[in-house]
Amino acid sequence: MPTYAYHCPNCGGFDLVRPMSEVDAVAVCPGCGMRGRRVFGAPALRRMDARLRRALDAGERSADSPQVVTAVPPRSADRRPGRATRYTTDPRHARLPRP
């Protein structure tokens, strides 16, 4: 999806990523909620980071057909009660202070 630039009279410029079919829809400033005016500039399709573009596309797809589960996932066999689930494999995180 392309990125469109808008100008807010209070906050200045802001960008919105939206489908081309919604380019003329009302652009609300994320800072103050005022209506923004479209600003024309160079297309930003190639400047966007590929990972960000994939994430935005995945978010767009999930709006139409969300991936849902119908049951609670089974407990992992190696998970013991009372033991926290490991969220990271970075060894530096183990040295962080604990509450």
In which order are the strands placed within the sheet that holds 12-17?
Answer: 12-17, 3-8, 35-39, 27-28
39 touches Zn ion (CB under 5 A): no
Distance CA 37, CA 3 (A): 14
**Residue 27 binding Zn ion, by CB under 5 A:** no
Q: Which is nearer to Zn ion, 11 or 53 (CB)?
A: 11
CB 28 to Zn ion: min, Å: 9
Residues 6+ apart with CB under 8 A from 85: 79
Six-digit token string for 76: 């992992």
- Taking the least distance from each CB to Zn ion, the nearer of 34 and 45 is 34
Round to the nearest angstrom and report the end-to-end CA distance of the chain: 43
Site residues for Zn ion, 40-79, by CB under 5 A, read none
Q: Is 31 in the site for Zn ion (CB under 5 A)?
A: yes
32 binds Zn ion (CB under 5 A): yes
Contact call for residue 30 and Zn ion (CB under 5 A)? no
